Each structure stands twice: as structure tokens, then as C-alpha cells.
Amino acid sequence: MKRIDNKSDLIKELNILRNKAKTIGFVPTMGALHEGHLSLIKYSNKQNDITVISIFVNPTQFNDKKDYQRYPRIVEDDIKKLEKAKCDFLFTPSEQEMYPENDTREFDFDNLDKAMEGKFRPGHFRGVALIVSKLFEIVGPTRAYFGEKDFQQLTVIKHLVKTLNIPVEIVPCPILREPDGLAMSSRNMLLSPTERKHVPLIFKTLTEAKEKAKTLSVQETKDWVVRSINADPLLKIEYFEIVDDTKLESVTDWKNKNTSVGCIAVHVGNIRLIDNIRFNL
């Protein structure tokens, strides 16, 4: 695996490979890699000749400065995992490399950015779009891999590549979970041992909500989820929304259960975790 910090060096290397008709798979990350990230690399290795991963904790997508400062940065550990996972290029740019000057671009997300994460993290998706579009420009991937845990992000990115005509196939990859159901996330390592014991309630509640939805209305299901999470003294729900899987509009009845997704954000002390579940049968 070749580690590159400089965008022009990476562009040169990848141009040589592209000229040899090699396909390029790309896994953008913010590091603190876990099995979920490694599964994206596996998909990429299977479907492409070359796999590129980036590690960059992107300041523009954090609306909370403390969350940005706290975000785990363990590149040396990440490299060890990547050596095993067989990646061809690791791109680790500096902030100056990615944002040499203030990027004032605005994006039209057709309201996909308004609810859920967008509502509670203003500016978050603009930051994601800034960095992902810059990375796509540098890497020029054939395919790019995103986890379904960040369901709204995935939907926003699909929209972004469509509206900006970026020639890349976005490949959604299933959520990976710990044995107790907790969705894998780089933020999990920030949880205290006590907090860690409480957070499996998030997925347990989502799974039970799917059962409840067989008899309860959408609103009753939502209320039940809020009560279930908030009954735990260590957890505080920020939102639970049931939306359709393309427009992310709120679902008000179960007519289209197959396309309904329940998305949740929960605070555990200082840490904020997200997860989601499909309501299909």
C-alpha cells in the first residue's frame, strides 16, 4: 500500500492506472477504522482493479467544534489494519491540501438535507458535499463505497453525483454490527465502559419497533421508540423519524412499508450515535 499526502501525486499515480484501463474503487473515511470500513474495502477489492482509501477528518462537516476535536485520530493503527485489508493507495491529505482557500460553494440537495441530521447538524451535508466532491475530483473513482449506517448521507451523495454529473457509481454497503447489535462506528471507541453497556438498546429498540409496527400506527411506533430509548437514564433520543428511502419524506402511514426506513440519533453522554432500520417485512 502506498501512502500519499499530496493530491497531485495521487492524481499522477491514478492517471497512469486509468490509462491502462484499470478500474478504481474508492472508500472515503475519516479514519479510526473498524470492521465496517474494512468491509467497504473488501467490496471495492472484489469489484475493482485498484482500491483507494482516504483518511481525512473533515472540519467543514462538523457543526460542533468539540465533536471535531474529540473525533478519534489513530492513523498508525489504521495503517496496520489497511495493510491486512490489502488497499493499494492511502490518501491522507492535510487540511491545507484539501482546503487551500475558503470553499464557498453551495449545493442544492432538493430538501434531502433538511430533516434529521440536517436539522440537528446545520451545515453538515454542505461540508460532506464539499469534501466528497473534492475527493471525487482527485481520485476519479469508477465506484465509491458508502455504509448504510449514514443513510441520509448516502442519499445526499447519490443526489450530489446525479445533479453534478459526476461519473461514479455509488455503492451502498450494509451496516456491520457488533455481536450485541450496536452499529459499528468510529465514535463507539469514545464510549465509556458503562455507556457501552447501555447502547445496544438502540438497535434492540429499532428491532422491536419493526415488530410493533405490525400493530401500531406510524405515530404510535415513533412514540414507542422515544419512550423506549429515554427510559434508559444514560440515553437521550435526539430524533426518530420514519421516512421513505428516496426522498426522505416523513411517512405517515404504513402503505409503503417496503420503502420505509426508521432513522435514529441518540446522545450517550457527550457522544452522539446514529442508526437505522428498514421496515420491510
Q: Which of 28, 93, 118, 141 binds ligand PAF (CB under 6 A)?
A: 28
Examine residue 130 and tell whether it contacts ligand PAF (CB under 6 A).
no
How many Å apart are CA 263 and CA 278, to the nearest integer?
9
Residue 78, CA distances (Å) to 85, 221, 257 in order: 10, 39, 39
The answer to whether residue 138 forms part of the interface with ligand PAF (CB under 6 A) is: no
Q: Is residue 55 near ligand PAF by the rule CB under 6 A?
A: no
Instruction: Identify whether the C-beta of residue 27 lies closer than 8 Å to the C-beta of residue 40.
Output: yes
Among 61, 188, 228, 276, binds ligand PAF (CB under 6 A): 61
Residue among 150, 241, 245, 275 that touches ligand PAF (CB under 6 A) = 150
Does 266 interact with ligand PAF (rule: CB under 6 A)?
Answer: no
Minimal distance, residue 71 CB to ligand PAF, in Å = 10
Instruction: From the candidates 37, 124, 159, 267, give the one annotated as an active-site residue.
Output: 37
Contact 278, 260 (CB under 8 A): yes
Residue 221 contacts residue 252 (beta carbons within 8 Å): no
Decide if 244 contacts 251 (C-beta within 8 A). Answer: yes
Residues 132, 133, 139, 144, CA torsion sign: positive
Q: Is 30 in the site for ligand PAF (CB under 6 A)?
A: yes
Stretch that binds ligand PAF, among 28-36, 89-97, 158-166, 225-233 (CB under 6 A): 28-36
**Distance of alpha carbon 157 from alpha carbon 132, whole angstroms:** 8
CA dist 231 and 225 (Å) reads 10
Q: Is 267 a catalytic residue?
A: no
Which C-beta is closer to ligand PAF: that of 128 or that of 201? 128
DSSP state of 183: B
User: Is the Cβ of residue 73 or residue 236 nearer to ligand PAF in the bound state?
Assistant: 73
Using the minimum distance from each CB to ligand PAF, give the nearer residue, 137 or 211: 137
For ligand PAF, the closer of residues 187 and 210 by Cβ is 187
Under the binding rule (CB under 6 A), the answer on residue 58 touching ligand PAF is: yes
Report if residue 82 touches ligand PAF, rule: CB under 6 A.
no
Taking CB under 6 A as the binding criterion, the range among 18-26, 39-47, 126-134, 272-280 that sits at the site for ligand PAF is 126-134
- Of residues 36, 31, 14, the one with CA closest to residue 136: 14
Residue 128 near ligand PAF by CB under 6 A:
yes
Instruction: Map residue 55 onto helix, strand or coil.
Output: strand
CA 41/CA 35 separation, integer angstroms: 10
CB of 149 to ligand PAF, least distance (A): 8
The verdict on 27 binding ligand PAF (CB under 6 A) reads no
Number of residues in contact with ligand PAF, rule: CB under 6 A?
10
DSSP strand pairing (235-244 vs 260-268): antiparallel
Say how far apart CA 195 and CA 211 lie, in whole Å.
Answer: 26
**Cell of residue 165, nine digits:** 454529473
Nearest distance in Å: CB 262, ligand PAF: 20
Residues classed as catalytic: 37
Binding site for ligand PAF (CB under 6 A): 28-30, 58, 61, 128, 131-132, 150, 153
